[in-house]
Amino acid sequence: MIRRAESDADLAAWIAVWDAMTPREPSAPVDVIRRRIARQPERLYLVAAKDEETVGLGFCGPSQSQERTSVVVRVLPEHRRRGLGSELLDRLAEHASRLGPRRISGTVFEDDPDSLSWARNRGFEEYDRQVELSRELAPQEAEPVPPPGIELAELDETRLADAYEVWVEGYADMPFTPAVRAPTYEEWLEEEVPGPVTFVALDDGRVVGAAALLDRVDGLAEHGLTAVRRSHRGRGIATSLKQALLHWAAANGYRELTTWTQAGNAAMQAVNLKLGYRPRPAVISVWRPA
């Protein structure tokens, strides 16, 4: 049986399946999902149950691109090959057809060939890749060395507006195809900087770079977007911001940091590799007509 997840119990069951499928990228808690639905009531969360056990989930909602609607289908491995995923996808595609964008899109892990074949058999094709890199932390990481004239500091309320400007500029230059919109200020506060720490780079008191950490699970944290103003790129600011996060995370009990870059973002990939990050299986972005 497939139904819309509306109660807290249904949303908790939805989260449980998500977390079981992608333990390194756990779901947001129920209260955050509730706020997302309030902000975007067109979001659809589905749960698939068998004998009162939730065994699959579906999601459909706006993406950061005007050209596509995001969909997610996940079914626990022991309950696959019974048509449940296809039924979830049909429900999501029907909902997406009423939202406007011409395409629906999703993601498949490079090291999950069965799911990739499933998506291709239903008309999806690859249009982009996200490269994940991770780094285990030493008990003590070197302190950051910012470029001359640059000061590093933790983000506080007095610099939120300036930091948001840096993020917006960074989003505008990300090599996404199609292009993505920057989050609104309210989305940015809730989705981009709610984690344990955000560092900013200051030039004479002005924010010229920013980088955040987001909590994941069991000593694992994820880098958010590392952004530097166009006027200050190429000076090593992004490297020093990442070094600051490595140093802070090691001092605060984290064991591993992970970061994502677009396949076309060679400059940021070079920064990460230089700092000792190593590639993990990529995430493949796929889409098809809605």
pTM: 0.84
Asked whether residue 191 falls in the same domain as residue 56, the answer is no
Determine the Cα–Cα distance for residues 88 and 101; give it in Å rounded to an integer: 19
Domain-located, residue 113: no
Asked whether residue 173 falls in the same domain as residue 246, the answer is yes
- Which pLDDT belongs to residue 59? 98
The CATH number that applies at residue 220 is 3.40.630.30
Residue 49 DSSP class: E
Domain-located, residue 29: yes
Share of the chain above pLDDT 90, in %: 82
pLDDT at 266 over 80: no
Asked whether residue 80 falls in the same domain as residue 148, the answer is no
Mean pLDDT score, 211-224:
94
At 182, the pLDDT band (50, 70, 90 cuts) reads confident
Domain-located, residue 262: yes
Tens digit of each residue's pLDDT (9 = 90 or more) over 94-104: 999 999 889 99
Tokens of residue 210, six digits: 């920013």
Rg (CA), the chain: 20
Give the CA distances from residue 240 to residues 56, 57, 165, in Å, rounded to whole numbers and listed in that order: 42, 40, 20
Task: Report CA 93 to chain centroid distance, whole Å.
Answer: 22
Share of the chain above pLDDT 70, in %: 99
Determine the Cα–Cα distance for residues 132 and 4; give it in Å rounded to an integer: 32
Bridge partners, 227 (sequence order): 210
In three-state secondary structure terms, 146 is coil
Tokens of residue 7, six digits: 């109660």
pLDDT at 176 over 80: no
Tens digit of each residue's pLDDT (9 = 90 or more) over 117-168: 999 999 999 998 888 999 999 999 999 999 999 999 999 999 999 999 999 9
Tell me what the pLDDT averaged over the chain comes to: 93
Tens digit of each residue's pLDDT (9 = 90 or more) over 32-78: 999 999 999 999 999 999 988 999 999 999 988 888 999 999 999 99
The span from the first CA to the last CA of the chain, in angstroms, equals 24
Strands 150-154 and 197-203: antiparallel
> If residue 130 lies in a helix (H) or strand (E), which one and from where to where?
strand 125-136
Q: Quote the domain boundaries for residue 179.
A: 134-280
Domains contained in the chain, number: 2
Asked whether residue 92 falls in the same domain as residue 223, the answer is no
Asked whether residue 154 falls in the same domain as residue 218, the answer is yes
Asked whether residue 198 falls in the same domain as residue 88, the answer is no
